[in-house]
Structures are given as structure tokens and as C-alpha cells.
A and B are shown apart, each in its own frame.
Chain A
């Protein structure tokens, strides 16, 4: 488990991370979203023990991270612009990481390289940006660490590759129950992989919630009532976050248990009602609007 309590980091007069508290459970894929400059990378760098928080405590499995080899052995950090040694080939990097990470799986590395059609003997500086990203994920996966921290890892990958990378991570989660933190400014990239989302804004965390819980608790319903009284009675009894009306068709976003909402509609017996799936973006729009933010300004 990763636990950050009130961590802050200033760079001169800029508050990069401000009083952030987060708990990331094992086996989670935690999506850290926020605009550029929201503090995602700084947070991940603190989590990786690269930089030291000015205030607060950050622990991995109960251990302090900064300058703690035992703690660092448990994760692999993939930065937004991963460094590869000058003139190095993937083989060189494999050799390097084999020195660093005791559990580094060389065979898996070779297999994944082949799977992604990356040439192991080619110099990395001749690779495209996307290929470098793939290589960084392969290195991270093969390190066999319990945690993987990815900073904008899907940025620059084409949709096919993005899906391929996601599938490796998903497989790894399924096989080894690894915990992954993925920082991204693009909410859509995280939608199908994350099960927990933390939203950072101006160094502070707006909220951190389980995606499943969020999906369970927010629902989009399209319905048509027999009359206005029925509709009013219905809305008065629901925790409505958003309501739109086009003719007699209402589209509402309401918080609550799906069963309870269904039962309630069954009682009122509207002309028609249907619960529609919500996109992650829609959930975020609803949640952030509640706390007074315009999500479109917070994420891309």
C-alpha cells in the first residue's frame, strides 16, 4: 500500500504539490489526472524517492521511500521522458536493469521486445518516441517490481500501441497483482484501465475515488413522465447532480444506488426510463461541478 499524508513540495515560490493525501491500495490501477503543472510528475517523483517532500510523509508498504533501498526495490518508475544511456541498445538497458533489479526477467524482456517488434540490437536513439515509450514499459514490466509508476506513459503512443501497452499492464495486474500508478492529463486514456482516480489541480488533490464506486453511485437516466407532478415528485426524492429536459424527455444524472433508483422509478411508473452507462469524463464533470470546478479546465 502506498500512503501519502499531507505531502507538499515547493519550487521557490511555486507550490508544486500542496498538502496532498492519498492512499493507494495494492492491486489498484491508480490514475492520477490533472492538467500540465497540476503536480502529477512532482508527486510521482516524490513517490519514487527522487525528490524529497518539503512536508508530509510518503510511505510504500509502511516504509519511507526517500533514500530507502528496500522501499525502492518495490517499484519501477517510468518517467515522462525516460533516460537511456548514450548509444545504448535495449540489450544494454536490459543488462543495466538486471544489475539494478534482482528480479528482472530477461527472457520476458526478449519476448516482449519480439512481441512489440522492437529490434533489441538497434540503438535506442534511433527509436521513435512511441517505441521508446514501449521500451520503457517493457523494462518496467520486466523489473518484476510490485509497483510501477508511469508518468504520461501513453502520451505519444498510437491507439493500437496504447491498447497493446495497456493490455500488457492489464495482464501483469491479472498475473502478479501489481499496483500501477498512471499519471496523465488525458482522462480518456485512463478510462478503461484505472480502477481508482485521483484528480490533482494546482498542486492540491480535488478528490480521490474508486472508479467502480463512482460508477456505482452516479447514474445517467433518461425518462419520460406522465405529468409534471410525477416528475417533480421524482426529482425531489433523488440526489440529482444534473438535469436536462428536451420536450418531455428528461436526462438526469443522479447519485445513488442503481437498485434503489430503479426501485424508485418502478414505484412512480414513468412512461419510460432507462439507465445509461456514464463515461469517465461524465462522471468527472458531475463530481467536479459539485465541488465548484469546471472539469474541462482541469483535464484535457
Chain B
């Protein structure tokens, strides 16, 4: 018999025994894919008939829905893929767990590779064939209903390829779990461990770094990495990334996953060849893997137990950490040994491994507790640094950033965006800031626990010693990236921050407008207290405005940014998202441009525009409310205040409304806009226990708006202090 014939016949025989898997797969796809598709299509017809009259975009919406359904974003197909992969992977090779079955399969004159290939390929076909049939049915349904387009077809094809790739990955991992074990239950557990282990380890690492190192910076992709370290998480993440829009990295991901899948298939074949038949029925198939897997499970689980108990205890006490470590060590070790031996009496078998695990855990915890490798004090040598990226928390809080990774569709924290994309080559100021940060850490560590509390209180409470978070990424010549986060005092570092702010390398990323493609810029509008206008601009005009704005931003200093209050806000629609950029009084060319296009950028709020100013001393009004409610007062913060406090002005002690233009003039000159303060709160000092609401007349017809303001620190007029009982 030719080898090919034998292989096909083996496949056929194997298929006969897996009819239930085929039926399950076919049923799953038919119900959750084809039937749902048919239902959706009938819903679309209904919508067109009923909603289409009022909504001209209904067809566009329907096509989006179809692409989402047929394409990689279909969560039902992801679910079928995962379930099918696990079932086929485990069931296809379960015969290895039965002595009877192994005796049959391994005594017959068929090479193990051939047996493996026949079963393996059948496992793929059990998924692929029903998927393909149902995909074709769906496409047919769409074509018959005239929803078929090239885009829809390509989305279906992309999803088909992607789902097969990840099916193969998840399926192969399940097979490896079967190869390494000799029992069905242990195989399930093993597969679970393989699917989650990477994420688990990364999660533990992140928790420990966060807990023990003051300068640890959770880089933006940590969360994503934690998810993507799991093949299942990686699958969902990649599918949603593709669904959101293609990006450059997706190809890398696909190539990487393909390579890993191929490597895992080769590894599975290797294991199959090496797997001793006598392993059937035992917990672990390979003796050599027993201690490795035991330690690889027990140590991280113990560490997880330690950090869990430490986190639960509000005191974050070391004693709870130690309790958690010991408890989790004993429990996890016991469970692993019970599984290995199928005997509860052998829970603490192999005491040397238990001791070894305990020593391993102790060493790891000591490394963190005593910062053995001086993580917090590490700074790369200047000569090795190629560039730095920085993020200054509390500067331009209004800026919005979108992850380039996701084709600018997902919002990210400013620190993450800046750290990822910035490259400052003149890194001296950032380097100096890092040094100051390290000194701060040393100071913190040198004080005793009691002193620490005092130190923290002093630093946090005092406005003069305001701190901010400074994130830095060093990109070294070797390509290595070092991330750190420092808490820096404003007063000691302002000049260095100013230097960084003035660096164009910083601004180009800090203000994403520098990177914009003018073709993606939609509507541009401008608004202030008096006007809200959407410009009608051609693309060259849009480019002109952006160029002018960038040019003026180049010369905009940190001092300007903090001390000058914006006179208007430019709203840019970019990539279907809205971005606000302030127009400062120094931006003369920008003001001229907007003036030329019908927006009066010269009109700013003056005393004559103000109808009244309401001032409220929160320290008093909150005490009143508490006293009324409970008969005594607490140290109440504004956030704790009952809702009515934030409502319209009330005539009670601690509040005052001013209408006299002279007083208004004096008050207004000491005010700073609420949003301006909040956007730069680290660098602007205000008296935030006093709320100021300014009523501004917007026209001569009696219309007005209200704006919140704060008094600049030490600039509260004396009469106001008296009126509101400010001490």
C-alpha cells in the first residue's frame, strides 16, 4: 500500500471516530454563523424599509454591520474557534491516555509521525470545512440579498485566514497539553495553564514591580501584553485590531503567530515521537517535566498568594505578604503533588522540591523587598543613551491622544502616547530630572516609616512643594528601552521642565497636531465665550491654519502656557475625532487667520462683559451643611460635598455675589479659568477652596453664560476674604 493511500485511509478511519466533533462544529457554525447571518439580513431589510426613509446613512451602517459580522470582529466565530480548537485538540489525542488504545495504535505498522499527521490534519478539517461551508452559505445569503461587495468578501476572507491561524495555534497548544500529560483531567488543567501562564507571569511581575519599586512605570502596553501573552487574549486582541483597521504591526503579529504555531507543531510532533506509551494513565508523561512544571507553577502561585494577601490588607503589611507566600506555597505545592500522584496522602511528597520552591520564592521576594539590583536607583550611562521620551503629568491635561497602534482610533493616556512616540535627542534636562527623581527615592527610603508618613504629608500638603509624575523612557544605543517613573518637586525642577517643553522634539509628540495629515482633517471650528463658528475651509486653507498654529506653538514657552489664558479654542475634527487646541494672545497670526475667516479673535472677556461674580468659600459652606445634617462637622472635601452645593448660588454664609464693576474688575484680574487651571494644575497655584462663578454677558440682548474660575494663590482681594470669611 502506498504511503499516500495509507495516510488517506488513516484519516478516513480517524474521521469516522470523530463524527461527533464534526457534527458539533457544523452545528455551531450553522446556528451561530449562517442562521444569525440570515436573521441579520432579514433585520436589515426591515430597517431599510422603516428607518431608511429617515436615515440616509442606513445602508452605510448596514455594510458596517455586515463587515463586522463576516469579518474578524465576529465574536461568535471567535468563540466557536476557541471552543472547537480546545475540543478537537484534546479529543483527537486522548487515546494516548488509554493503555488499551495506545497498545493498538502503537503496535500497528504505522509511523508515529503519520498517525500524528492524520489525526492533526483531521482536527484542522473538522474546523475548516464546516467554517468554509457556512462562510460560503453566508456569502450566498448576502449575494442573494444584494449586500455582497468586494469589501465584504475580503472581510470574510481575512477572517477565514485569521481564524484558521489562531485555531491552529490554540488547537496545537491543546495537543501539547495532551502530549505532556497522561490523564484527561490533567490535560484540561495543563491546557488551561498554557493558555493563561504567560499572562499570569506578566501580571505577577507587574504587581511586584508596582508594589516594591517606586520608579516602576507601567508602560502603556503592559495591559495589552498581559492580555496578549495568552493565546486566547492575543487572538481576541488581534481580531479586534484587524477589525478596527489595518496597521503595520498587524503583519508582524501574524508572522510571529505563524512562526510560533509552526514551532509548536514541530514541538508537538517531537513530543509525540518521544512520548512513552507507558505514560497512559499517569499525570505527567515525561519524568523530566514533572519537577520543571511543578516549580514553574508553585513559585508564581506562591508569589501571587503573597501579593494578594498583601493587597487585601489595607496596611500593605509585610506580615500578610509572608503569610500569603507560605499559605499559597503549601496549597499550590500540595495540589500539584496530589495531581501528580492522584493521592491526597502524597500532598507533600518530595520535600526537597518544597524547600527548593520556598527558597526560590524567598529569593525573589528579597530581590524586590531590598531592591538587590538597585532598580530604583538605576539610570543608564549617558554615553549609552540614544534618545529619551518623557511625559510630564499635569501639563496640558486637555490634550487627547490616540494609539497609533490602533490606527488612531483608541484613546490612550498621554504618558503612554508620549513615551511611545517621543525621541528627544537633547536629553540632558530629562537626565537631570531623572537624577533628581532618584535622589527623591533615596530620601524616601532613608527615612523610617514614621518619618515617611510625615515626609509624605509635608510633600503632599504643601503647595510650595507640589510634586508631579515624570515618566521617562531611555532608548539606548543597543536598542534596549528603559522605563522609569519619578515623583518630582515642581519648585526644584521647573527650569528643567521649561527646557524640555521648549524642545521641538518634545512638542512634536506632546501636541499631535504636528504629525497630522491634512487630508484627514475634517471640520475646523473656533469658539470662546462670545462666539462658536465652524469655518468653511479648503484643504490648503486648513493646511495654512495648521502651519500657522504650529509655527506659533514652536515659540510658545512653558511660562506662556501657564501664565497666559487662552482667548479662544480651535476645534479640529481629525480622523473623525475632535481635538481642542487653545489660541493664546501671543498667537497673533492664528488670531489674524481666524479673524479673516469671520471669527472675532480679538474680543476677550473684560469687566464690561461681566454681569456678576459669585464667590463661595467651600470651607464654610460645607461645614454649614454638615452641621445642619449631623450636628457636627468633619474635615469635608469638595468631592464629598452634597450635590446641592454645586448648584446655583445660595445666599448663605461664606458666599458673596459681586455686581459692582470696580469690584468685579479687581476680582477678575485675580482669577484664573477653571479649565486652564485643571489642564496645568501642577504648575499653577490657586486657592481651590474658593469657587468663583463669573456670569458673562454674551450679547446685548441679555444672554449670558457662566464660567468657573479660581483665585490665584495669594491674590484674593482683601474685601473678598472678609466677605466670605476666608482665613
Interface residues in chain A, defined as those with a beta carbon under 8 Å from any beta carbon in chain B: 11, 45, 48-52, 67, 69-73, 75, 77, 79, 81-83, 85-86, 92, 95-96, 99-102
Q: Does B101 contact A (CB under 8 A)?
A: yes
Cβ 8 A contact of B277, one of A50, A75, A102: A50
Known: A11-B278, A99-B6. A50 touches B102 (CB 8 A): yes
Task: List residues of chain B with CB within 8 A of the CB of A67.
Answer: 111-112, 273
A160–chain B nearest beta-carbon distance, Å: 27
Q: Considering the complex, which residues of chain B in the window 1-30 have a beta carbon less than 8 Å from any beta carbon of chain A? A: 1, 6, 9-10, 12-13, 16-17
B650–chain A nearest beta-carbon distance, Å: 80
**CB–CB B100/A81 < 8 A:** yes
Task: List residues of chain A with CB within 8 A of the CB of B12.
Answer: 99
Q: Considering the complex, which residues of chain B in the window 78-130 have a beta carbon less than 8 Å from any beta carbon of chain A? A: 98, 100-104, 106-112
Cβ 8 A contact of A99, one of B13, B111, B277: B13
A61–chain B nearest beta-carbon distance, Å: 13
Given the complex of chains A and B, what is the CA–CA distance between A51 and B279 in angstroms? 10
Task: List residues of chain A with CB within 8 A of the CB of B100.
Answer: 79, 81-83
Task: List residues of chain B with CB within 8 A of the CB of A75.
Answer: 107
Q: Does B649 contact A (CB under 8 A)?
A: no
B102–chain A nearest beta-carbon distance, Å: 7
Additional A-B contact list (13), CB under 8 Å, known A48-B107, A79-B103: A49-B106, A50-B277, A51-B278, A69-B111, A70-B109, A72-B109, A77-B103, A82-B104, A83-B98, A83-B101, A99-B9, A99-B12, A101-B108
Q: Does B52 contact A (CB under 8 A)?
A: no
**CB–CB B109/A50 < 8 A:** no
Known: A99-B9, A99-B13. A50 touches B112 (CB 8 A): no
A82–chain B nearest beta-carbon distance, Å: 7
Known: A99-B6, A99-B10. A72 touches B108 (CB 8 A): yes
Given the complex of chains A and B, what is the CA–CA distance between A70 and B102 in angstroms? 19
**CB–CB A79/B6 < 8 A:** no
Known: A11-B278, A86-B17. A100 touches B103 (CB 8 A): no
**CB–CB A101/B276 < 8 A:** no
**CB–CB A79/B104 < 8 A:** yes
Task: List residues of chain B with CB within 8 A of the CB of A69.
Answer: 109-111
Given the complex of chains A and B, what is the CA–CA distance between A81 and B99 in angstroms? 9
Interface size counted on chain B using CB atoms at 8 A: 25
**CB–CB B277/A45 < 8 A:** yes
Given the complex of chains A and B, what is the CA–CA distance between A71 and B110 in angstroms? 11
**CB–CB B109/A92 < 8 A:** no
Task: List residues of chain A with CB within 8 A of the CB of B109.
Answer: 69-73, 100-101
Q: Which 3 A-B pairs have the closest CB atoms?
A: A72-B109, A99-B9, A83-B100
Task: List residues of chain A with CB within 8 A of the CB of B17.
Answer: 85-86
Known: A11-B278, A83-B98, A100-B109. A50 touches B13 (CB 8 A): no
**CB–CB A92/B107 < 8 A:** no
Task: List residues of chain B with CB within 8 A of the CB of A52.
Answer: 276
Task: List residues of chain A with CB within 8 A of the CB of B110.
Answer: 69, 72, 100
Q: Give the A-B pair count, Cβ closer than 8 A.
A: 65
Given the complex of chains A and B, what is the CA–CA distance between A242 and B12 in angstroms? 62
Q: List 21 A-B contacts (CB under 8 A).
A: A11-B278, A45-B107, A45-B277, A48-B107, A50-B107, A52-B276, A67-B111, A69-B109, A69-B110, A69-B111, A70-B109, A71-B109, A79-B100, A79-B103, A81-B100, A85-B17, A86-B17, A92-B16, A95-B13, A99-B1, A100-B109
Known: A45-B277, A51-B277, A79-B100. A102 touches B1 (CB 8 A): yes
Task: List residues of chain B with CB within 8 A of the CB of A51.
Answer: 276-278
Task: List residues of chain A with CB within 8 A of the CB of B102.
Answer: 50
Write the B251-283 contact mask toward A (1 if CB under 8 angstroms, else 0). Answer: 000000000000000000000010011100000
**CB–CB B278/A83 < 8 A:** no
Given the complex of chains A and B, what is the CA–CA distance between A95 and B10 in angstroms? 11
A188–chain B nearest beta-carbon distance, Å: 26
Task: List residues of chain A with CB within 8 A of the CB of B13.
Answer: 95-96, 99
Given the complex of chains A and B, what is the CA–CA distance between A45 and B100 in angstroms? 11
Given the complex of chains A and B, what is the CA–CA distance between A83 and B12 in angstroms? 18
Task: List residues of chain A with CB within 8 A of the CB of B108.
Answer: 72, 100-101
Task: List residues of chain A with CB within 8 A of the CB of B103.
Answer: 45, 48, 50, 77, 79, 83
B285–chain A nearest beta-carbon distance, Å: 13
Task: List residues of chain B with CB within 8 A of the CB of A83.
Answer: 98, 100-101, 103-104
Task: List residues of chain A with CB within 8 A of the CB of B98.
Answer: 83
A123–chain B nearest beta-carbon distance, Å: 14
B436–chain A nearest beta-carbon distance, Å: 62
Residue of chain B at shortest CB distance from A69? B109
Residue of chain B at shortest CB distance from A97? B108
Task: List residues of chain A with CB within 8 A of the CB of B16.
Answer: 85, 92
Task: List residues of chain A with CB within 8 A of the CB of B1.
Answer: 99, 102
Task: List residues of chain A with CB within 8 A of the CB of B104.
Answer: 79, 82-83
Residue of chain B at shortest CB distance from A66? B106
